Structure 1
């Protein structure tokens, strides 16, 4: 069974950190993530897999601070943050 990730390891924190890094700013200077998505619900999707040991897969995509955020999860969550100009359709 997988262990429960710490607060610093939750996916919502990783998203904010990743966008802050791209913006070269402090994460606290970004708008709240909850303006784009429910961070608690997003974290719960991943936490429940760790708590129950149940394998899940899926994809969540949303806009945050001018970026498209894509979280795909299977064995491990994969986070992608891209500006609109970087998206190829």
Structure 2
């Protein structure tokens, strides 16, 4: 993960490993940022259907998918990267 901290933004980029689904990558990225174990987070399915997320990201290789999970705005870029920004962070 690569954090970028400036006065105007806090953004973390997480590269999704080839052998990991987008849904699992979201869980792992958020748990890493929150410094907790994945099972300590609210279940992803309470926010978004993990199977639908994985299928949608596979079918939209050139697009992006956005959702909020466990206090983070998450953008999936091309099924290869997650961009995470704290949900309470005001963008300018």
**Fold match, TM over 0.5?**
yes
Matched with 1:63 is: 68
When the two chains are superposed, the root-mean-square deviation of aligned CA atoms in Å is 2.0
Matched, 1:24 2:29: no
1:40 to 51, 76, 83: 51
| Residue 86 of structure 1: how far off its partner (Å) | 4.3
Name stretches of at least 5 consecutive residues in structure 1 with no aligned partner. Answer: 50-55
For these two proteins, the number of residue pairs brought into alignment is: 75
- In the TM superposition, structure 1's runs of 4+ consecutive aligned residues that sit over 2 Å from their partners are 45-49, 84-89
| Residue 88 of structure 1: how far off its partner (Å) | 2.4
More strand by share: 2
Matched, 1:88 2:76: no
| Residue 46 of structure 1: how far off its partner (Å) | 3.9
Task: Select the structure of larger CA radius of gyration.
Answer: 1
